[in-house]
Amino acid sequence: MAEKGKKDKIDFKKRKENVCNSLFEVEHFLCNLDNIARGFKLYKVVKKRH
């Protein structure tokens, strides 16, 4: 535990890298989710025609 008078130093460079990596992962997840939704829509259209 840190003493009451001392503050923990924040490593902003590491925190920035972690945030950028997290945003990158979220962006890819949402893109993949969008592609899955398109696939289901296409499947429904094809299924109705047969």
Q: What is the pLDDT of residues 5-50, one digit of tens each?
A: 556 787 888 888 888 888 889 999 999 999 999 999 988 888 887 6
User: How does residue 1 score in pLDDT terms, banded at 50, 70 and 90?
Assistant: very low
Name the phi and psi angles at 4, rounded to 5. -60, -35
The closest alpha carbon to 33, from 22, 43, 21, 25, belongs to 25
User: How many Å apart are CA 31 and CA 37, to the nearest integer?
Assistant: 10
> Looking at residue 49, what DSSP letter applies?
H
Give yes or no for residue 3 having a pLDDT over 60. no
User: How many Å apart are CA 48 and CA 42, to the nearest integer?
Assistant: 10
| Claim: this prediction has a pTM higher than 0.85 | no
